């Protein structure tokens, strides 16, 4: 981990180590400016010498990889930002719609529609009056007040997070650093029209194949569809044709599936084998991320016209040349390093950031709680949006029995604590809640949880 430094004049300086930042804070020579990523502001004048480096960005629908590589190949820091899943948001929106519909059935007041019916004027010739007259015709659509360039909230949120993070890192890092951003996992136009030429494809005959391979791997989540293992040195990937070449199979991405070396056997190719069954289940599988990446690429081009953009198939080839494992942070290292360095001095650890909800929005339980000693005759519902209890708040970072975790919810005299994997930290085998007396407060956490891995 590194700590970003801003000078007393507001100019961004070179990052420093956490030990030195801790010494400056205790001595009163600096103050905390930002918590995620952790940034301090110096309270005394100092020199403004900086070194050249490249900020690498591995964009994606669910994860954002970031790395800083100096001109000599040293990786200053690397981190991964995990966004909230769209399906989790969708489930919350669907549940809200059900509760809201039930509430409207209970309340009989009339609510006027939010949209106006769209009407069309059509002219008709009147033979008696010998002139044209118009009449209003009601259509089945509605007018919409959505501005030009409107995006669904889930997509708009992720696009805003990408732009916001890049803007923040530009503010807290030296001005001479420049950005290199991965605009897409693969070049869709390259697959549709192989005759497209660009300087990105002048570096080897395998770049076109890596483009298709990156699409197929991302389509299946970098896992073997048969055994479920992630592709690594023990489970090397093999692109399998769902249809035999003797029957006219081509290198179409829709006809390919990534299979590990252990599952790609002659026996599995026979009729009734695992690869023969895979043809019926995976042939028409869709991949939605290219739609989001196309939207994101246009926004990034417009927001950062001075940045350098690349593609995921090039990143994959550069990462393999640098002999780095497949992670979002290492992809960012390969993006920042490019093909300019024969090797890089990798950072010791990766900083992880996970986006969380600030609080539960529902006021109380949807269904009345059950009675325990006595029946719940009054249909009392427990409160749910308790965001603070004493000095503790939701998502605060705490320590229990030497383990680090975050506050998930509150009970009568304690709280439920979860670690970075989402597992509860308990002090008893019988209960999941931990008394406040056994919880040690560390610091407050907002939207992003930070932990090292």
Instruction: Give the model confidence (pLDDT) of 107-148 as tens digits.
Output: 656 666 665 555 666 777 788 888 877 666 655 555 556 778
> Of 282, 310, 332, at which residue does a domain stop?
282
Predicted confidence at residue 407, as pLDDT, reads 92
Please indicate, yes or no, whether residues 60 and 186 belong to a single structural domain of this protein: yes
Do 414 and 391 fall into the same domain? yes
d(CA 108, CA 10): 58
293 and 163 together in one domain? yes
130 falls within a domain? no
Q: Are 378 and 253 members of one domain?
A: no
Range with lowest mean pLDDT among 113-122, 153-162, 175-184: 113-122
Where residue 63 sits, what CATH number does that domain have? 3.30.420.10
Residue 201 has pLDDT above 50, yes or no: no
> In the chain, how many domains are there?
3
What's the first-to-final CA gap in the chain, in angstroms? 10
Total residue count of the chain as it appears in this document: 453
Q: Which of 360, 2, 385 is nearest to 169 (CA)?
A: 2
pLDDT tens digit string along 439-451? 999 988 888 888 8
311 and 344 co-located in one domain:
yes
Segment 108-117 long-range contacts (CB within 8 Å, at least 24 positions apart): 115/142, 115/143, 115/144, 116/142, 116/143, 117/142, 117/143
Residue 320, helix vs strand vs coil: helix
Q: How confident is the model at residue 322 (pLDDT cuts 50, 70, 90)?
A: confident
Please write the tens of the pLDDT for every residue from 55-98. 999 998 889 999 999 988 889 999 999 998 877 777 888 888 88
| Cα–Cα distance, 206 to 88 (Å, whole number) | 38
In a domain, 59, yes or no: yes
Question: Whole-model pTM?
Answer: 0.71
Peptide bond preceding 452: is omega within 30 degrees of 0, i.e. cis?
no
The answer as to whether 20 is a domain residue is no
64 and 79 co-located in one domain: yes
Tell me the per-residue pLDDT of 218-271, one tens digit each, with 9 for 90 and over.
777 788 888 888 887 777 888 887 776 656 566 667 778 888 888 888 888 777
| Helix (H) or strand (E) segment spanning residue 256 | strand 256-260
Give the residue among 425, 423, 421 at the shortest CA–CA distance from 433: 425
**The pLDDT of residue 196:** 45
> Which of 267, 282, 297 is the last residue before a domain boundary?
282
Give residue 206's pLDDT band: very low, low, confident or very high (50, 70, 90).
Answer: very low
Q: Classify residue 25: in a domain, yes or no.
A: no
Shared-domain flag, residues 69 and 159: yes
Classify residue 446: in a domain, yes or no.
yes
Asked if 60 and 167 sit in the same domain, the reply is yes
Residues 235 and 383 in one domain: no
42: confidence class by pLDDT, cuts 50, 70, 90: very high
Secondary element (H or E) of residue 448: strand 448-452
Same domain, 342 and 429: no
Task: Specify the pLDDT at position 136.
Answer: 64
Which domain does 294 fall in, by range? Answer: 50-85+154-191+289-355
Q: Is the dihedral of CA 424, 429, 435, 441 positive or negative?
A: negative
**Count of C-beta atoms within a 10 Å radius of residue 330:** 24
Look at residue 369 in the predicted model and tell me its pLDDT.
Answer: 78
pLDDT at site 96: 81
Residue 68 domain-assigned (yes or no)? yes
Does residue 307 sit in the same domain as residue 179? Answer: yes
Do 312 and 169 share a structural domain? Answer: yes
- Residue 234, both tokens: 């023990």
- List the beta bridge partners of residue 355: 448
The reply to whether 19 falls in a domain is no
Domain presence at residue 116: no
Boundary residue ending a domain (261, 282, 303) = 282
């Amino acid at each position: 981990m590194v700590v970003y430094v801003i000078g007393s004049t507001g100019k961004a300086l070179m990052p420093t180590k956490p030990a030195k930042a801790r010494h400056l804070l205790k001595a009163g020579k600096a103050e905390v400016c930002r918590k995620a990523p952790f940034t301090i502001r110096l309270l005394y004048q100092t020199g403004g010498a900086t070194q050249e480096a490249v900020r690498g960005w591995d964009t994606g629908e669910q994860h954002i990889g970031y790395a800083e590589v100096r001109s000599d190949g040293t990786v200053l820091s690397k981190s991964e930002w995990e966004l909230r899943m769209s399906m989790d948001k969708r489930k919350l929106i669907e549940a809200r719609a059900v509760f809201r519909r039930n509430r409207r059935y209970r309340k009989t007041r009339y609510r006027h529609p939010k949209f106006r019916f769209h009407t069309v004027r059509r002219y008709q010739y009147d033979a008696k009056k010998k002139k044209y007259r118009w009449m209003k015709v009601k259509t089945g659509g509605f007018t919409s007040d959505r501005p030009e360039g409107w995006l669904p909230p889930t997509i708009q949120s992720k696009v805003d997070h990408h732009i916001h993070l890049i803007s923040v890192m530009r503010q807290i890092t030296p001005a001479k650093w420049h950005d290199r951003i991965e605009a897409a996992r693969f070049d869709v136009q390259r697959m549709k029209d192989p005759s497209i030429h660009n300087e990105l494809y002048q570096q080897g005959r395998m770049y076109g194949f890596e483009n298709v391979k990156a699409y197929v791997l991302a389509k299946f989540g970098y896992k073997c569809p048969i055994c479920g293992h992630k592709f690594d040195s023990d489970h090397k990937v093999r692109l399998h044709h769902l249809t035999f070449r003797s029957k006219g199979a081509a290198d179409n991405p829709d006809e390919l599936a990534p299979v590990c070396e252990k599952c790609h056997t002659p026996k599995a190719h026979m009729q009734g084998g695992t690869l023969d069954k895979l043809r019926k289940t995976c042939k028409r599988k869709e991949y939605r991320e290219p739609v989001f990446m196309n939207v994101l690429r246009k926004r990034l081009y417009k927001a950062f016209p001075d940045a350098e953009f690349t593609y995921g198939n090039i990143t994959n080839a550069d990462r393999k040349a640098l002999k780095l494992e497949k992670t979002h942070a290492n992809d960012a290292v390969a993006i920042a390093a490019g093909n300019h360095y024969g090797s890089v001095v990798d950072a010791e650890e990766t900083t992880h950031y996970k986006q969380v909800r600030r609080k539960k929005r529902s006021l109380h339980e949807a269904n009345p709680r059950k009675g325990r000693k006595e029946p719940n005759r009054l249909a009392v519902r427990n409160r749910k949006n308790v965001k603070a209890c004493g000095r503790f708040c939701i998502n605060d970072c705490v320590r229990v029995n030497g383990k680090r975790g975050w506050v998930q919810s509150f009970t009568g005299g304690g709280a439920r604590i979860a670690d970075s994997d989402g597992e509860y930290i308990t002090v008893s085998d019988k209960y999941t809640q931990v008394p406040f007396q056994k919880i040690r407060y560390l610091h407050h956490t907002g939207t992003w949880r930070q932990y090292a891995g």
